[in-house]
Amino acid sequence: MGKRVVLLSATGAVALLVAAGPQRVALDAQGTMGTIVGHVRLTAPAPPSPVIRMGGDPRCAAANGGRRVTQDFVVRSADGGLAHTFVSLQGSFPTTPVPSQPVALDQRGCLFVPRMIGARVGQTLQITNSDGTAHNVHSLSERGNAFNMSQPLKAMTNTFTLTSEDVVMRVKCDIHSWMVAWIGVVPHPYFAVSGADGAFTIARVPPGRYAVQTWHEAYGRLTRTVDVKAGQTATVDLVYSGKEKPSTAGVIDLVIPGDAPSATLIAAR
């Protein structure tokens, strides 16, 4: 009987199972992959975050305890790290299992949390209303991931299967116009969302040369090239100057309730 070799990913580790008849031997294959570690940076100061006027729904104001809530389009750390940026590798990759665990989007304090998330094609999106007020969750996808669902009660949860690649789709609440989130949907596991310090890690990447592309709601896309070697860590920085403009494709006018001139921002889907 011939040998059967299966590449598996389990609990974050990569292993080879070699089957010879009924016997299986686990072989560590971690050294066959590489890792990309990087930062997304913004050299310019972050623009002011407009204050969200929640007076139209007193339950939203109450959920925030009277705290002033801002619309944080741009979140920049003291050393220039840019948060909420979707990072993905471009290219074709071997098929890998889609995670059974859903990716979660919550509504807390009348805001979507997190503001930016990444997901796989075929993965389940789980949306929860953690507020004591009604919400409506409306995806503006034009690539097969459109949905529009009402969540009138606290603790309601709905799920939706993301069926096609979509970088990046916008989600809004039709009841509360300031609520917005972004979801990057790709057909492979090689993506990340930059943290509060702008850092990101993409692990277990097959060796090769790749284009690393970022997407940010205020500054659009950047692309850099990185070489990944087996068992090694490649580093890459993607730097926005603050002068970039989002793509003109699918431009959306986001209006935040309030009188300040900064209450309007042009962003791209």
Q: Which of 121-125, 225-229, 248-252 has the lowest mean pLDDT?
A: 248-252
pLDDT above 70 covers what percent of the chain?
Answer: 80
- In this predicted structure, what is the pLDDT of residue 12? 39
DSSP letter string over 30-81? Answer: GGG-EEEEEEEEE-SPPPPPPBP--TTSHHHHHHTTT---B--S--B-TT-B
Average pLDDT, the chain: 85
For residue 91, give both structure tokens: 């290219």
- In this predicted structure, what is the pLDDT of residue 30? 53
pLDDT beyond 50 at 259:
no
In angstroms, the CA 59 to CA 132 distance is 7
- In this predicted structure, what is the pLDDT of residue 66? 83
Q: Which of 204, 202, 194 is nearest to 239 (CA)?
A: 194
- Which residues, other chains included, contact 38 with Cβ-Cβ below 8 Å and sequence gap of 6+? 87, 199, 200, 201, 212, 226, 235, 236, 237, 238
pLDDT beyond 90 at 182:
yes
In angstroms, the CA 202 to CA 187 distance is 15
CATH of the domain spanning 33-268, picked from 3.30.470.20, 3.20.20.150, 1.10.645.10, 2.60.40.420: 2.60.40.420
CB atoms within 10 A of CB 32: 14
Locus of tokens 């929640």? 54
Q: Could you tell me the pTM of the whole model?
A: 0.82
**Residue 230, helix vs strand vs coil:** coil
In angstroms, the CA 228 to CA 210 distance is 8
The residues of the chain that CATH labels 2.60.40.420 are 33-268
Question: Nearest 10 degrees: CA dihedral of 189, 15, 97, 191?
Answer: 0
Calculate ∠ Cα 42-236-185, nearest 5°.
80
Using the 8-state DSSP alphabet, how is residue 155 labeled? T
pLDDT beyond 60 at 24:
no
25 vs 213 pLDDT, higher one: 213
Amino acid sitting at position 110: C
CA 141 to chain centre: 15
Q: What are the tens digits of pLDDT across the range 47-81?
A: 999 999 998 899 999 999 989 999 999 999 999 99
Averaged pLDDT, 111-115: 98
58 vs 3 pLDDT, higher one: 58
CA 37 to chain centre: 17
pLDDT category of residue 31 using cuts at 50, 70 and 90: confident
pLDDT above 90 covers what percent of the chain?
Answer: 77
pLDDT category of residue 3 using cuts at 50, 70 and 90: very low
- In this predicted structure, what is the pLDDT of residue 247? 54
143 vs 247 pLDDT, higher one: 143
- In this predicted structure, what is the pLDDT of residue 83? 99
Q: What are the tens digits of pLDDT across the range 133-160?
A: 999 999 999 899 999 999 999 999 999 9
Q: Tell me phi and psi for residue 61, to 5 degrees.
A: -60, -40
